[in-house]
């Protein structure tokens, strides 16, 4: 082996060989053979439709040891179609780090659901998530496609350690009899109480926002991009009436946002005494409202 190697990128594929995820083996390999290594990354794809999870008998959260922390490397997972892709890569700031700049390595692992087939049986996705949970706990959830609110709750039932969720958009089933009742949601509301940061990429109605505020009652920050001109005033009244005591920072993207809208919101907040100690400002089409 080349002891002078400075950059090492590994890409691996397997149906059953899970040994790529034994972090201590990588620690030993790098420490003993590549003392000058400056950059390291690993992409391991576990693929296969309908297969059981490979047996992982190692400790969970192996990539949270001081070895990886010192090298500023984090562990992330992506689910795409029937595949799970595990990554060890350099830490980069995410959207929630701009609200809370502190970075706790042990709570940095993110699961991204990039794409699953719309007609795919629910058990395939849930079994994929369970496979991931054999290896590591998940602190951040990113879903990059439309998701039913019921499906979201079924996923959160499996994830007790979430700090943040980033959703592309929500859908609401009108016919609840069509939902798959095999997968429970009983723990979802309890797990959602741990979520502090919520980002919704696309809000089509104010109902989406109300659902998230109710579902994550202890969130501290909510960011929403509205595809239609949703009126902010009812949202502020909802916050005031329901006493969301943890929520103190709201960011709403509205394409018609201008200085006049900020003036009107200021006047409305003052007239109706909705907030006492607050700041409001606009940055491009984003309206930021912060209060104590």
Reduced 3-state DSSP string for 27-91: HHHHHHHCCCCCEEEEEEEECCCCCCCCCCCCCCCHHHCHHHHHCCEEEEEEEECCEEEEEEEEC
Neighbouring C-beta atoms of residue 61, cutoff 10 Å:
14
As a whole number of Å, the CA-based R_g of the chain is 22
Give the pLDDT confidence score for residue 50 in this predicted structure: 55
Type and span of the H or E element at 26: helix 23-33
- CA nearest to 248, candidates 272, 268, 224, 277: 277
Give the pLDDT confidence score for residue 292 in this predicted structure: 87
Give the pLDDT confidence score for residue 176 in this predicted structure: 47
Dist. CA 112–CA 141, nearest whole Å: 6
What parts of the chain have a pLDDT lower than 50?
175-179
Task: Write down the pTM of the prediction.
Answer: 0.92
Beta carbons of 181 and 153 less than 8 angstroms apart? no
Give the pLDDT confidence score for residue 48 in this predicted structure: 67
Q: Which residues of 141-166 are buried (b: 16+ CB within 10 A; e: fewer)?
A: bbbeeebebbbbbbbbbbbeebbbbb
């Amino acid at each position: 082996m080349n002891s002078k190697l400075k950059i090492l990128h590994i890409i691996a594929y397997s149906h059953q060989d899970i040994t790529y995820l034994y972090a201590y083996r990588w620690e030993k390999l790098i420490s003993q053979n590549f003392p000058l290594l400056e950059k390291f990354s690993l992409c391991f794809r576990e693929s296969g439709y309908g297969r059981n999870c490979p047996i992982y008998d190692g400790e969970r959260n192996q990539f949270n040891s001081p070895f990886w922390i010192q090298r500023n490397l984090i562990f992330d997972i992506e689910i795409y179609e029937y595949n799970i892709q595990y990554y060890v890569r350099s830490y980069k700031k995410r959207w929630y780090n701009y609200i809370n700049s502190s970075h706790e390595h042990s709570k940095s692992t993110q699961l991204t659901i990039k794409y699953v087939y719309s007609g795919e049986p629910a058990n395939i996705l849930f079994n994929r998530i369970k496979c991931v949970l054999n290896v590591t706990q998940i602190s951040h959830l990113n879903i990059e496609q439309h998701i039913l609110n019921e499906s979201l709750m079924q996923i959160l039932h499996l994830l007790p350690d979430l700090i943040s969720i980033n959703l592309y958009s929500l859908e609401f089933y009108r016919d609840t009899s069509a939902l798959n009742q095999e997968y429970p949601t009983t723990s979802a509301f309890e797990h959602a109480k741990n979520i502090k940061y919520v980002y919704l990429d696309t809000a089509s109605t104010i109902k989406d926002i109300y659902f998230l505020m109710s579902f994550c009652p202890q969130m501290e920050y909510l960011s929403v991009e509205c595809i239609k001109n949703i009126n902010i005033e009812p949202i502020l009244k909802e916050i005031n009436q329901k006493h969301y005591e943890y929520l103190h920072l709201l960011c709403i993207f509205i394409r018609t946002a201008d200085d006049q809208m900020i003036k009107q919101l200021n006047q409305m907040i003052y007239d109706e005494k909705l907030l006492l100690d607050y700041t409001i400002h606009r940055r491009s089409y984003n309206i930021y409202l912060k209060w104590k």
